[in-house]
Amino acid sequence: MRSLTAGDSHGELLVGIIEGFPAGHRVSVRDIERDLSRRRKSYGRSARQNIERDSIKIVSGLWKGRTTGAPIAILVQNLGRTVSGKPGGALGSVPRPGHADLAGCLKYGFDEVPPISERSSARGTAMRVAFGSLAKSVLKLFAIEILGHVTSIGGVDADVAPVPFAKLKRSVSRSPLYCADKQAADKMIETIRVAKKEGNSLGGRVEVVATGLIPGLGTHVESDRKLDARLAGALVSIQSVKAVEIGDVLKTHRLKGFESHDAMYLDRGRVSRKTNHAGGIEGSMTNGEDIIMRLYAKPLPTSLKRLSSYDMKMMKSAKSPFVRSDVCVLPALTVIAEGVVAWELLLAMVEQFGGDSIDQMKANYGSYVTGLAKRGIL
């Protein structure tokens, strides 16, 4: 299974193609649009989000509402084609520090920013969420669920004491910031308000949890098929994400081995663990515990506070331009990260259980799970 996207931030539409998606899966456009709207509506976004609707059109790969195994093509229209009345690509020839502008212009031979900024824009994450939403709907058939939540914004940290997945999901769904800790979320909202007033932007941290996993997804045998590497690579490819933690390694790297690893207990033929410092992955494979990963995002580089830069055409010093931008995308990042993790997990499932049809996947999965049960797992 593979995917490809095309589309610019202020072009006509975003296009996504998925090839190799298992046949026979009922697709709900409404479910995909629900995720797109969670991404769009979160707190701290720019005025652009009041313009977009993010409704989708699936133009191939379905028969009577089910996937056929043929490539699936998805379209998401851009309604916001202009920035403050100017054409969308209104950025000039001054690269913004922290953006793809400079390196992209040098690499592709441009002295104007739009040919680069239009594609590097986080607008493209709408399609990644659509892909992820489709993946989530398949994973749900195998009782796998994924949830992202904000754990830090602009230096305000949430209380992250572990809670059962269902409870976490309830608290997150009630929060405009998708943050389970209401007190911290109130402080974060205030911090975002102040940053907006100052014309500044904020970064932070998001945690993603995947539950309901069987052990053995991914593999230790070859580097390009390692699940932790695939997940971390995919997450760092999201705009602004600069670091990913798997499990508790930011704590455990200071400890000794016996405090860091998750001991196993055999009780009446069943294997269990009392801790999950590994974040559900050992030897680059799922171990059956919840996958827990944390993403660290830098503050967005576009802000009213203009940094020193230079004009690539005139070759003279200039301040970086201010264009309409988000103040904080951390809540939106929770939804994007869910989608990205879902996509990587579905890839691993399709590789492991065969991907021609959902029925085939279910049959192969069932026989694997029967084997696990005989060995005290699940």
Contact positions vs ligand EPS (CB under 6 A): 9, 46, 48, 52, 80, 83, 121-123, 125-126, 302, 323-326
CB of 104 to ligand EPS, least distance (A): 13
**174 or 324: whose CB is closer to ligand EPS?**
324
Nearer to ligand EPS, 125 or 320 (CB): 125
Least distance in Å: CB of 120 to ligand EPS?
7
Of the two residues 9 and 137, which places its CB atom closer to ligand EPS in the complex? 9
In whole angstroms, give the CA distance from residue 106 to residue 103. 5
Q: Smallest gap, in angstroms, from Cβ of residue 206 to ligand EPS? A: 15
Q: Who's near 34: CB < 8 A, 6+ residues apart? A: 133
Q: Which run of H or E residues covers position 342?
A: helix 330-353
- Tokens read off for 264: 């196993």
CA distance 114 to 9: 10
Q: Residue 195 is which amino acid?
A: A
Nearer to ligand EPS, 139 or 327 (CB): 327
Identify the CA nearest to 96 among candidates 311, 265, 299: 311
State the minimum distance, in angstroms, from the CB of residue 76 to ligand EPS: 9
State the nearest-atom distance from the C-beta of 174 to ligand EPS, in Å. Answer: 23
Residue 265 to residue 258: CA distance in whole angstroms: 15
Closest to ligand EPS by CB, 340 or 348: 340
**What is the CA 252 to chain-centroid distance, rounded?**
25
Q: CA–CA separation, 164 vs 129, rounded Å?
A: 25
Bridge-based pairing of strands 72-77 and 270-273 is unpaired
Q: State the minimum distance, in angstroms, from the CB of residue 299 to ligand EPS.
A: 13
Residue number, 34 or 324, with CB nearest to ligand EPS: 324
Nearest by Cα to 69 from 272, 283, 361, 325: 361
